[in-house]
Structure formats: C-alpha cells, structure tokens
Amino acid sequence: RAFKLTGVAGAYWRGDEKNEMLQRIYGTSWPTEEALREHLRLLEEAKKRDHRRLGKELGLFMVSDAIGPGLPLWLPKGAMVRSILERYIVDLERSLGYQHVYTPQLARVELYQRSGHWDHFKDNMYPPILFEDKEELVLRPMNCPHHIMMYQHELHSYRDLPLRIAELGTMYRYERSGVLSGLSRVRAMTLNDAHIFCTPEQIQSEAVGVLRLIEQVYRDFGFTDYWHRLSLRDPKDRAKFVDSDAMWDNAERCLRQALGEVGVAYREALGEAAYYGPKIDVQLNDVLGHSETVSTVQLDFYLPERFGLEYVDTDGQRKRPVMIHRGVVSTMERMMAFLIEHYAGNFPLWLAPVQVKVMTVTDQQKEYAQKVFEDLTRGGWRAELDDRNEKLGYKIRQVQGERVPYAVVIGDREVRDQTVSARRRGGEQLKPMSLKEFNDLLRLEVANKISHQQSAGS
C-alpha cells in the first residue's frame, strides 16, 4: 500500500468550541503508488482552482472581519460576473414563461410557523426582531412562503396554470463559523428560485420543461460531468413521509416518465425524498470527483395543503394545486464558486468581467489605442486600456495573470494599417485584422458560448 501524510490542523474535541483544542493529522492511503500519485495530482489541481485563492487573485470577492464571516463582498469584477449570470438566467426563464418577482427579505414569524419552517429550520434561522408593539419579524431562510402569498392573492382558474413564479431571492441562514468557506458556505445568499403551481396532470410536462432548462444551462456553461438522482420515499418508513400512497405513486411515476422523456440516465435513492414529495437532484462533479447538488426539481404536496391553496377546475370545483420547487443554478454564491473552479478562473468571453485589454507598445500608439478602446466599449464590450509607459512583456504577463480572454496589442504597424493584433488568453496569436473583423469574431464567440479552455495554471 502507498501512504502519505498530507497536513495537520487544530480541532475542538467533538466539534464543540468550548472543549480543548486537539491536533488533527491528515493522511491518505491507496492500494498502489500510481493511485496515490494520481490522487495527489488531483489535490494539487484542486488547490490551483480553489475559488478562495482565485477570488482574491482576480479581485472577485472578499470577506471582511468588520462585517462578519459568511457575508462576502462582491468586488467590481465579481459583481460584473454575477450581473451577467443573473441577466442570463432571468432572460432565459422569462423566455420560458416564468414571471419574475421581488419579495421582502423579512416576514412575520407567524408565516414560517404556518409553513413549518419555524419547526424544522429554526436552528438555521436568525432570532426574530421584536418591536414595541410585540410584532416579530425574522430574516427569511427560504422564498417559498412569499411566493405562496402571491399565489393566494387571487383565486386561480385551471386556465391560469401552470403559474411559474421566479425570483433571485436573498435569504439568510445561520451557519457555524467553523463551516463557512469562501462563497460555497455563506450566511447570506441569493437563490435562483422558482415555484411552479400546476394541476396534477401537468406535473410531468413541467418536470420535463425544468430538466430541459437545466440541460441548456449546463451546455452553455460547458458542464459535462454530472448525473441525475431520483429521490424516492421508503414505503416501509411511513412515519417519515406524508402518508398518501396514491399521491406518492403518481408523483414518482411522473418524475420517472419525465426523466425518460428527456432521455437522461438516473440513479434511484430510496428513502431520500423530502417528507412532502419526491425530487430529482442534478449532481455536478468537481475536479476531485466530489458530487454536489446544484439543480433540483422538488414536488410538494404539503405546503399547498398547509396553506389551503386552491384553483377552480374544468368542472367548477375547487381543487388543490401541486407545487414544484425548482432551482437551476443554485445560489449566486455557490454557482460563482463552482464556475471559478470549473474554469480555473479563465472565464469564457461571455462571462469574463473584462473581455479585452488594449495595450500600447510605446507612447506613439496612444491615440489609435484610445480609438480602438472607445470603439470596443461603444460596441458593448467590456474593455480596458493599458497605455502606461511600461515594457510590452510586462503588460502581457500582467494581462495573463488577470486571465483576460483577449489582449489587443497596438504597435506602429497596427497604427499604419488601422488594424488590431489580438492574442488569445493562453498565447495563441491571431493574424492582424480590422476592427470590424475583430468585433465579428467576438460576437460569434459570445453567441455560441465558446470557451477556449486552459489548464488551471494558465
């Protein structure tokens, strides 16, 4: 067997901060030296891709002790990537019939008592804010009760369904400081959230629509290493799940058929459903092969019952809708962490905070470089101009460190010919071209979401 010590760290006895600090020793053991070397290579690759390190290097986000742990600050470049991500998902959802809304981040405690969150998630919620008139408000841990209130605002007909309510909703959950990590484990998060209110007959078609949306998003991001899990109830464990055999049988059948219609392989997980309904989780694998839930399609028969939700059916009778909780890109924080590590900081052109850096060779090219820069920014490109009196090699090394997709070098030849010389991130030198040709190249790359991938060290 092959064995290697990998590190040491402090740890509290039984995870309790009141107990004595102990020394924890980490190691790894593998059947062969070759397997150990491959594991260590993956660990090194993961270190290079660590979103906390790259986030600091690339000026994407920071955490301030003065503000508190788990409350990240999005710096201008990180905020730009987040803004692009938010616009992308909102535009895509609206094109598919989702109605985007805004709801407050505070609500009365009674709302969460009624929804059941107060009983089940109180330990992960912040204490209520008590006012002089005895009113208690609390920071929300989830968005679903707010969307339910919107549904209840008026009586719906079957013709109104499915009703798809979506929001980039900011939520707050208490996490112990010891488990907080960069953007992947935080206390304040903004979730790409949606709730679909539909008839029982619409469950399958709505699940198919969500699964196809997820597939499209994953294609656009270049995600290929993922799999689907269908979480089912355990019929023998009746105490754990809402007790309605007919409801569970129909719901599980609908989700199986939806997965079959989309044509994706999946694994079944008996007993892993939520107590109020079965769900489909899409698991993304990271560079180490660790699996993380990013997207979810969750059926819910419990909250519609608890809140007395109704719609008027074709026969004029009032009936109970089904609620589908649906997340595609998780929280902005977790998705940003995943994207940083997936691309190793080398964001594709359409996501990059700075798409083009225009650089001069000497001061003689400043005027033309300014013209090129202004033309690019007028065209909607996120460009920067570096006309400092520095050596070109230094400027190129700097732009490589910033991982900008394109560097445009302006020398005497470019001024004379009124062209640009573009260099792709990673070193590929393109032939001189006109500004129009360069704009066309950029537009094509963005339209097709092309990613010129590189290693983590590039």
pLDDT value at position 242?
A: 65
What are the distances in angstroms from CA 128 to CA 134, 145, 172, 321? 11, 17, 12, 31
Residue among 163, 251, 275 nearest 200 (CA)? 251
**Number of helices (H) and strands (E), helices first, in the chain?**
14, 22
Mean pLDDT of 369-397: 95
- C-alpha dihedral, 195 to 200 to 201 to 203, nearest 10°: 40
Q: What is the pLDDT of residues 38-49, one digit of tens each?
A: 888 888 888 899
Distance separating alpha carbons of residues 310 and 308, to the nearest angstrom: 6
Residue among 202, 204, 206 nearest 321 (CA)? 202
Whether 275 has a pLDDT exceeding 70, the answer reads yes
Q: What is the pLDDT of residues 95-107, one digit of tens each?
A: 999 999 999 999 9
Q: What is the pLDDT of residues 284-318, one digit of tens each?
A: 998 777 888 999 999 998 899 999 999 999 999 99
User: What's the chain's average pLDDT?
Assistant: 92
State whether the Cα torsion 90-93-97-102 is positive or negative: negative
Torsions phi, psi for 399 (to 5 deg): -70, -30
Residue among 182, 172, 177 nearest 333 (CA)? 182
| Pairing of the two strands 311-312 and 106-108 | unpaired
What are the distances in angstroms from CA 198 to CA 156, 295, 307? 11, 20, 15
Whether 183 has a pLDDT exceeding 90, the answer reads yes
Q: What is the pLDDT of residues 400-412, one digit of tens each?
A: 999 999 999 999 9
Report, in angstroms and rounded to the nearest whole number, the Rg of the chain calculated over CA atoms: 26
pLDDT value at position 457?
A: 53
Number of residues assigned to the chain: 458
pLDDT value at position 452?
A: 64
Least confident of 17-26, 202-211, 337-346: 17-26
DSSP assignment of 249-318, as one string? HHHHHHHHHHHHHHT--EEEEET-SBTTB-EEEEEEE-TT--EEEEEEEEEESHHHHHTT--EE-TTS-E
Share of the chain above pLDDT 90, in %: 74
Taking every pair of C-alpha atoms in the chain, what is the biggest distance, in angstroms? 80
Q: What is the pLDDT of residues 214-268, one digit of tens each?
A: 999 999 999 999 999 999 988 777 666 766 778 888 889 999 999 999 999 999 9
Helix ranges restricted to H, 309-427 = 332-343, 366-378, 392-402, 412-417
Q: What does pTM read for this prediction?
A: 0.90
DSSP element (H, E) containing 76? helix 76-95
What are the distances in angstroms from CA 311 to CA 209, 332, 397? 22, 33, 62
Going from the N-terminus, what domains does the chain have, and what CATH number goes with each?
A: 2-61 (no CATH), 65-105+140-343 (3.30.930.10), 356-447 (3.40.50.800)
Helix 203-221 with 76-95: angle, nearest 10 deg? 140
**Contact predicate 92/79, CB 8 Å:** no
Q: What is the pLDDT of residues 156-180, one digit of tens each?
A: 999 999 999 999 999 999 998 888 8
DSSP element (H, E) containing 231? strand 226-232
pLDDT value at position 262?
A: 95
Whether 326 has a pLDDT exceeding 80, the answer reads yes
Q: Regarding predicted confidence, which is higher, 316 or 36?
A: 316
**Contact predicate 388/395, CB 8 Å:** yes
Q: Regarding predicted confidence, which is higher, 234 or 126?
A: 126
pLDDT value at position 206?
A: 97
pLDDT value at position 189?
A: 96
CA geometry: angle 50, 55, 58, nearest 5 deg: 120
